[in-house]
Structure 1
Amino acid sequence: MVTKSRSDLPAATAAGTPLRTFSRYPVVTLRVDAAGLNRLQLQTGVVSVTEDVPVPPVLAQSVPLIGGDKTRTEGLTGAGTAVAVLDTGVARTHPFLTGRVVAEACFSPSDAEYGASSLCPSGEDEQEGTGAADTDQGPCAVAPLNCAHGTHVAGIAAGNGANVSGAPPAGVAPGANVVAIQVFSRFGTDEFCGTGASPCVLSFTSAQLSGLEKVLELKESGVPLVAANLSLGSGRYTADCGETDLRGPVIEDLLAEGVATVIAAGNDGYNDAVAAPACVSSAITVGSTTDEDGVSTFSNRGALLDLMAPGTGIVSSVPGAKWASMNGTSMAAPHVTGAFAVLRQKFPAKSVDELLTLMKSTGRPITNGSAVTPRLQLDAAALGSTPEEPDPEDPKGQWSRFFINSNKYKIPDPGKVDSPLPVTGIKGSGPVYLHIWVYVVHTWVGDLKIELVAPNGTIYNLQNPSPSDATSLSEVYRVNASKLTTVNGTWKLRATDAYKGDTGTISSWSMDIPFYENTDEYAIPDSGVVEAPITVTGWFPGNAYDDVTIGVDIDHTWCGDLQIDLVAPNGSVSKLLLPDPTDDGDGISKTFWVDARQFPANGTWKLRVKDVTAGDVGTLRSWWLKF
């Protein structure tokens, strides 16, 4: 029941037996008989009366599909943020989530008339603190009750598989922390679970409201929450329900505090409707796609949908330190929840609405009925076609130049198709190695030959046809491009289907070019030294290559005064140019090569320019480094 204000609650509460109250909203849960219900409907100050109906959950190719492996490579992991998972609890010691569950709460009402009992490990209807939402404790740990859903959702949003045997590489935001909130109860009868389905877990609306209140409280206390995930719901709504749904006001308040409430659209297959609370307009409503970017047959859709994300055949964590595949908009929603963590790390000043707009504007359009909804493409949202310029206060360089084509290209059966990728702004000849990431979906991957075509027509073979019966290909290839005079121009990824009978698409591909540049100007002191840094981060786990290229652009009134050195991250010095008293030129624009196999690639490289003779001055205009 909802009243106009909290001052109206005492009179309204007298109509029945209070079951649950809330700390800040004019809402109370009552048990009333017919007379009490009539009294509430006639009472001044009562806005609405609804039944507290229990609802069910709405159930390691998906992360690469949305570009999450790319953002992870670029150091965008959601570090410094937290996401809340309001669900069936979380196995807090699961190796995919170990050490990351930073707060827990349980709101699990028991009700004899519903045959409902609490899932809180303490046995009480409410519990807070360490272990309060742990599915490895209390009733959730007892078979055959299935509380795996919340652990699976948390793993998609924020799992980290580093050094974990058999694990997926990572969820979307493996650096984010998790706030686990149990909002489900145990139901023991087929009346609510369905014939032959008891016991089951269902969630009261009142428990969800309590959980959302707790998220707001934690956010106000300083927990860096960026999103709350609700993969649950029921009903059929074609229009905004925010004014009538009990959860609407707290979802609005969370939005005002910078927390996105991300909600699964529901699994009823409606073409024009979603479930509640996904129908609240201030929530982020997420539908499900397949790996082939089709709309999942079960997914609700329509005008209320904000985004789509992969939700078919998603492998993630489940209790017992195990892994399982699940389907549902429940699996799609946490991809978006994790994306909010990654984008908050990248763009700390942007609002929830601005981040949502960014995801929508960079997403891949998916046609669903008469509507078109963007499917999350996180790398495009976070990185764009090329990484943003580093902050002026930070060292220059940082990331490889990154180019991506996320458009889909159908592969003829048989036949070939090219996916083009324009590259600009790279100085000098080709690097020793390019890194090419390819994501192709095909009903028989073994039919395919994959090639990379350079702007000058040079063809690099990436993969030949094989006996593989896989249905998708997600691989990174290393290509030696050092013989190219330039990498600028239009590259093409070519997929050739050599055999008839199977179909597919080039879903997306990208190119990382290890080119780093510092375009700041540095005055060269007369009879002094200046150093210009370039920081390298990204693809290079070990030492650099034997053919590192350095480009230098200097103005100086007597170039023969200058000595130029390259300083590696470990302090090793390579001499590029020695002083020459006979060189009276006023500019240096040269390319140098260094065997850097003994130097670590990652770290800060420096170009050191020393003026060895008094009487002349100049400027280091820019320099670049390419592996």
Structure 2
Amino acid sequence: MQSQPSFDRFIVKYRDGSAEQVNPAMLGQRLGAAGAALGGRGVRLQHLRRTALGSDVIKADRKLDRAEAETLMRQIAANPNVEYVEPDRLMKPVLTPNDTSYNQQWGYFDADAGIRANTAWDLANGSGIIVAVLDTGITNHSDLNANVIAGYDFINDTFVSRDGNGRDSDPSDPGDWYASGECGAGVPGSNSSWHGTHVAGTVGAVTNNAKGVAGTAFGAKIMPVRVLGRCGGYTSDIADAIVWASGGTVSGVPAVSQRAHVINLSLGGSGACDTTTQNAINGAVSRGTVVVVAAGNSNADASNFSPASCNNVITVASVTSSSSRSSFSNYGAKIDVSAPGSSILSTLNSGTTSPSTESYASYNGTSMAAPHVAGTVALVQSRRLALGQPLLSPSEVESLLKSTAYPLAGSCSGGCGAGIIDARRAVESAGGGGGGGGTTTYTNSADYTISDLATVESPISVSGRSGNAPSSTPVAVDIRHTYRGDLVIDLVAPDGSTYRLKNSSGSDSADNVITTYNVNLSTETINGTWKLRVRDVYSGDTGYINSWSITF
């Protein structure tokens, strides 16, 4: 688990011409009082320097946790001469992997069509999360091996399996090649695809190793589960594999040692979702496993394909680097989100039939889009782990991906769901609420002038959350005004409902008070734009909203 953030440096901006700005002794006095008022151990504050913007850099004599830092900043901000106070954060470089072919992996960094994983990696890398890849198995590859854990071979039929036996603990891919006519009259022969190796590389190739390609969630572990072989794979085997990988029981198969948090199904066939597959998916989801499914490559409505049309899955369409739907990608109302699936470079094998040397190649397909999403789910859930919060439920993950997606810049005839997933926004949104634990504070620190006898609103937009607000929701309000008694303050919910925080009152004369109101918002959904509405009902005094926050 990552350590929680700590703070010992702050930036304080005093109003131009204030005593604190022109008199070092006064500045020291004010800082000393704020540090002493922290309570408990207190803190001593040292003035380091003045910035080019006229603000002052302050250093504490010890590290403060988030709660202490917020308390200290509120003490400093209580001074009417303070314009703002904020942490002096230590920035770190955003990871740009040194993998030699990373610059060809447009799906991670392209501004108009990529999933923006490169900006998410400084927050999460998938650590602690297991992604099961139900596919053709996996081949030996130095750009994958370190991230692969034990899996299983679920293929019963020896014709399909090609490895000479039925189910066993070896998910190695012996090759899925077939001769002309073996998969049906008139069906031409085909070389081995090494499809599972390619999908696995997009999920979690070893990254920043100065070699090959990067993986979407390179800190996650890949569980290879073999369900596809010569001519494909049977529904019955795939369903059992879904049950097993998610921690369910399959007769004759040892229980999985660690269940998968995510299952990637880059496979499918024609026809609506069958009962067997749907039941297996329902069981996996009930155990907390997120199921990600490729939409299919027939340039047709995904509702006519399985498992793309199943319920309780995240169905993924493919987009090109020009931010349009890939010509082959299925579409329609069953699509949840889209991801890069054209010209996707990943790990492979050079063998035409049986395995040979490791290699890399670009493939096209919704099979390539789905692992981008499965990897992003791993990033989201690993962020939850790092913050000490419960994992999001499958439905919460789906809602989060949709609410943080962005629209295609090009065309998508037929429908591409909520748009292209945005890994950075998804990971950021994963940082609070949901799953029954953790909170996030949303703040608007911009100044909004409160003119005499006028009304002003300060908005806060919330996305990527699920469910309703708590019955006791903290709303912290920092208003600077020469007579607060003139003010009526309301909280406006996204649906327009208003909640009175404060009436005008002649006894409320304090001009600079940070007040926290606890409001019953249990009937309001969290997502949407919340507003702090302030109305000045008496003439003679003015001020401004310095900041306000709401915590869910």
Q: Normalising to structure 1: TM-score of the pair?
A: 0.45
1:229 and 2:264 matched: yes
Q: Distance between the aligned counterparts of 1:293 and 1:246, measured in 2? A: 35
Deviation at 1:66, TM superposition (A): 0.7
Q: Distance between the aligned counterparts of 2:256 and 2:136, measured in 1? A: 24
Deviation at 1:271, TM superposition (A): 4.3
Relative contact order, CA 8 A, sep 6+: which one is greater? Answer: 2
Q: Which amino acid aligns with 2:376?
A: A
1:269 aligned to 282, 286, 299, which one? Answer: 299
Q: Which amino acid aligns with 1:172?
A: T
1:107-138: per-residue Cα shift (whole Å, max 9, x none)? Answer: 22336xxxx34234xx211111xxx1122x58
Identify, as 1 or 2, the structure richer in helix: 2
SS in 2 for 1:86: strand
2:401 aligned to 359, 369, 378, which one? Answer: 359
SS in 2 for 1:285: strand
Q: Which amino acid aligns with 2:162?
A: L
- Quickly say closer, same or farther: Cα 1:126–1:298, change in 2 above 3 A: same
1:106 alignment partner in structure 2 = 153
Q: Distance between the aligned counterparts of 1:369 and 1:140, measured in 2? A: 34
Q: Distance between the aligned counterparts of 1:138 and 1:324, measured in 2? A: 16
Please give the residue correspondences for 1:88-487 in structure 2 after superposition, counting only pairs within 5 Å: 88-91=136-139, 93-110=140-157, 116-120=159-163, 123-128=164-169, 132-135=170-173, 145-165=191-211, 167-168=212-213, 170-186=214-230, 201-217=231-247, 223-237=258-272, 241=273, 244-271=274-301, 273-319=303-349, 320-348=357-385, 349=390, 350-366=392-408, 368-369=412-413, 371=415, 373=417, 374-383=419-428
Work out whether residues 80 and 224 of structure 1, in 8 Å CA contact, stay in contact via their aligned partners in 2: no
1:440 alignment partner in structure 2 = none
1:70 alignment partner in structure 2 = 119
Q: Which amino acid aligns with 1:379?
A: R
Q: Distance between the aligned counterparts of 1:288 and 1:247, measured in 2? A: 23
2:133 aligned to 77, 80, 85, which one? Answer: 85
Work out whether residues 274 and 300 of structure 1, in 8 Å CA contact, stay in contact via their aligned partners in 2: no
1:363-415: per-residue Cα shift (whole Å, max 9, x none)? Answer: 0124633545221111111125x9889xxxx9xxxxxxxxxxxxxxxxxxxxx
1:61 and 2:106 matched: yes
- Quickly say closer, same or farther: Cα 1:87–1:73, change in 2 above 3 A: same
SS in 2 for 1:127: coil
Deviation at 1:281, TM superposition (A): 1.0
Q: Which amino acid aligns with 2:167?
A: E
SS in 1 for 2:238: helix
Q: Distance between the aligned counterparts of 1:287 and 1:102, measured in 2? A: 28
- Quickly say closer, same or farther: Cα 1:68–1:141, change in 2 above 3 A: farther
1:124-180: per-residue Cα shift (whole Å, max 9, x none)? Answer: 11111xxx1122x58889997414100000010111232243x12x11100000110
Q: Which amino acid aligns with 1:118?
A: S
Q: Distance between the aligned counterparts of 2:172 and 2:160, measured in 1? A: 16
Q: Which amino acid aligns with 1:99?
A: A
Q: Which amino acid aligns with 1:369?
A: S
1:190 alignment partner in structure 2 = none
Deviation at 1:301, TM superposition (A): 0.7
- Quickly say closer, same or farther: Cα 1:370–1:230, change in 2 above 3 A: closer
Please give the residue correspondences for 1:565-604 in structure 2 after superposition, counting only pairs within 5 Å: none
1:307-328: per-residue Cα shift (whole Å, max 9, x none)? Answer: 1110000000002321100000
Work out whether residues 285 and 304 of structure 1, in 8 Å CA contact, stay in contact via their aligned partners in 2: yes
Work out whether residues 147 and 206 of structure 2, in 8 Å CA contact, stay in contact via their aligned partners in 1: no
Q: Which amino acid aligns with 2:205?
A: G
Query: Which stretch shows the higher mean deviation, 325-334 or 315-324?
Result: 315-324
Work out whether residues 331 and 416 of structure 2, in 8 Å CA contact, stay in contact via their aligned partners in 1: no
1:546-576: per-residue Cα shift (whole Å, max 9, x none)? Answer: xxxxxxxxxxxxxxxxxxxxxxxxxxxxxxx
Q: Which amino acid aligns with 1:381?
A: A
Identity, % of aligned positions: 30
Work out whether residues 89 and 147 of structure 1, in 8 Å CA contact, stay in contact via their aligned partners in 2: no
Q: Which amino acid aligns with 2:426?
A: A
SS in 2 for 1:225: coil
Deviation at 1:217, TM superposition (A): 3.1
Q: Which amino acid aligns with 2:400?
A: L
- Quickly say closer, same or farther: Cα 1:369–1:271, change in 2 above 3 A: farther
Work out whether residues 255 and 261 of structure 1, in 8 Å CA contact, stay in contact via their aligned partners in 2: yes
- Quickly say closer, same or farther: Cα 1:312–1:372, change in 2 above 3 A: closer
1:69-97: per-residue Cα shift (whole Å, max 9, x none)? Answer: 111133x1110111001101112x31221
Q: Normalising to structure 2: TM-score of the pair?
A: 0.50
Please give the residue correspondences for 1:547-626 in structure 2 after superposition, counting only pairs within 5 Å: none
Query: Which stretch shows the higher mean deviation, 156-165 or 293-302?
Result: 156-165
Work out whether residues 271 and 369 of structure 1, in 8 Å CA contact, stay in contact via their aligned partners in 2: no
Q: Alignment length, in residue pairs?
A: 301
Q: Which amino acid aligns with 1:312?
A: S
1:351-373: per-residue Cα shift (whole Å, max 9, x none)? Answer: 11111111100101246335452
Q: Which amino acid aligns with 1:303?
A: A
Q: Which amino acid aligns with 1:125?
A: G
Work out whether residues 288 and 295 of structure 1, in 8 Å CA contact, stay in contact via their aligned partners in 2: yes
Q: Distance between the aligned counterparts of 2:393 and 2:247, measured in 1? A: 19
Work out whether residues 87 and 181 of structure 1, in 8 Å CA contact, stay in contact via their aligned partners in 2: yes
Work out whether residues 245 and 256 of structure 2, in 8 Å CA contact, stay in contact via their aligned partners in 1: no
Q: Which amino acid aligns with 1:150?
A: G
1:160-210: per-residue Cα shift (whole Å, max 9, x none)? Answer: 232243x12x11100000110111232xxxxxxxxxxxxxx4111122122
RMSD: 3.1
- Quickly say closer, same or farther: Cα 1:138–1:322, change in 2 above 3 A: closer
**Structure 2 segments unaligned to the other structure (5+ residues):** 1-104, 180-188, 250-254, 350-356, 439-443, 447-552
